[in-house]
A = this chain, B = another copy of it.
Amino acid sequence: MVSLDEVARTAGVSSATVSRALSGRGHVSPATRDRVLEAAEQLGYVVSSAASSLASGRSRSIGVMTPDLHRWFFNSVLTGISDTLTRAGFDLTLYNVTSDPQLRHEIFRAFLQRRRVDGVIVLALELDDWEAEQLKQLDLPVIVLGGALQDLPSMSVNDQGLIRLAAEHLLSLGHRNIGYIGGDQAFDADYHVPTQRREGFSEALRDFGVEPHVQLSRAADFTIAGGYQVAKQLFGSPAAAMTGLVAASDEMAIGALLAAKDLGVQVPHQVSVVGVDGHELGELFGLTTVDQHPVGQGRTAAEHILGRVEGRGNGDVELPFELVVRSTSAAPSQAVDGSP
């Protein structure tokens, strides 16, 4: 291990100057800087993160707390975060918050307190009071992505707008009997998003003078399998002449498409299906969706937290989303109207 002192000796300057030359803090003459950089390069010097952290109080690492890595949305956001942090020379410390309460507790108690990180990005987790308190006590830049949280700063796509866009797409195509697959109460306890989305859906319908049918609404766990299961119920029961279906995630929408296929329900001829997220599989299934660019969200969140770590203030950001019309949505075959 080459130390800073060796570099200093080689370059013929003091260790303080080497530190300044390499970190860019303080004044160093161009000539000296070049000499230092050359010496460092030649010796293969790499700063010791522990020593640097201890002395400076900065670790050049960001903690990311994420739920279920299997979920495409989360691993997409994580990809975006990772990309941006790596480019900025920051490490990413991953805290995979599982449902195991003991592990979860441990993460909040010990891990975060270790001050290994300069900032924390929390992904779409619903935190209880104690957990939020721990986070606040860190006195570090924290940002919650996907779901406003108590009084922690958050960055969130407009979830109501997102689902509203999906619903309005179907409504403007002429659909009136529109089913909905969202999350349930238990699920909402862990993730923030579901409630917002359900409300956005209902409001969009009411704006069009349509009262959402309770019997056309189902709860699932945001996965393909979950969507498949409840979609089967929805398609199976002739409760109403449902011509459109909005799913609060693309995974559930894909599950619904699979269910439709299995039941012989024609999409979009009999039922139009719209999802939300922008899942990579959407293209394969021709799924109409509202893309919320999760990788971009990750990048944005990372940039934001880096900005705050480095002392730049950082205004609020609107996270963009857009309707992507593919082949699972079309006007209903015959005019069907929900109102009597």
B-binding residues in A (CB < 8 A) = 1, 44, 46-51, 53-54, 59, 61, 69-70, 72, 75-76, 78-79, 82-83, 86-87, 89, 91-96, 98, 103, 106-107, 110-111, 113-116, 224-225, 228, 255, 258, 261, 280-281, 283-284
Quick check: A69 and B78 within 8 Å, CB to CB?
yes
**Which residue of chain B has its CB nearest to the CB of A112?**
B46
Shortest CB–CB separation between residue A226 and chain B, in angstroms? Answer: 10
Q: Are B94 and A93 in contact (CB under 8 A)?
A: yes
**Other A-B pairs beyond A49-B114, A79-B96, 13, CB < 8 Å:** A46-B110, A46-B115, A49-B115, A51-B54, A61-B93, A69-B79, A69-B82, A70-B79, A70-B280, A82-B94, A83-B96, A92-B94, A92-B96
Name the one of B1, B78, B86, B261 contacting A261, with C-beta atoms under 8 angstroms. Answer: B261
Q: Which residues of B contact A225 (CB under 8 A)?
A: 280-281, 283-284
Verify B258–A50 contact, CB threshold 8 A: no
A interface majority secondary structure: helix
- Closest-by-CB residue of B relative to A284 is B225
Q: Sorted from nearest, which 5 A-B pairs have the closest CB atoms?
A: A50-B53, A46-B113, A82-B96, A50-B54, A69-B75
Query: Which residue of the partner chain, among B49, B103, B111, B283, contacts A83 with CB atoms under 8 Å?
Result: B103
Residues of B within 8 A of A50 (CB): 49-51, 53-54, 59, 115-116
The residue from B48, B87, B92 contacting A93, defined by CB atoms under 8 A apart: B92
**Cβ–Cβ < 8 Å partners of A255 in chain B:** 284
Decide if B110 touches A61 in the complex (CB within 8 Å).
no
Q: A54 contacts which chain B residues (CB < 8 A)?
A: 48, 50-51, 54
**A54-B98 Cα distance, complex, nearest whole Å:** 31
By a CB distance below 8 angstroms, the chain B residues around A93 are 61, 91-94
CB-CB under 8 A from A92, the residues of chain B are 93-96
Name the residue of chain B whose CB is nearest to the CB of A79: B69
Q: Least Cβ distance of A59 to chain B in Å?
A: 7
**Docked pose: A293 CA to B235 CA in angstroms:** 34
Q: CA of A227 to CA of B295 in the docked complex: distance in angstroms?
A: 24
Q: Take A61-B116, A76-B70, A115-B49 as given contacts and tell me if A110 and B83 are in contact as well, using a CB distance cutoff of 8 Å.
A: no
| Interchain CB contact under 8 A, A258 and B284 | yes
Residue of B nearest to A107 (CB): B86
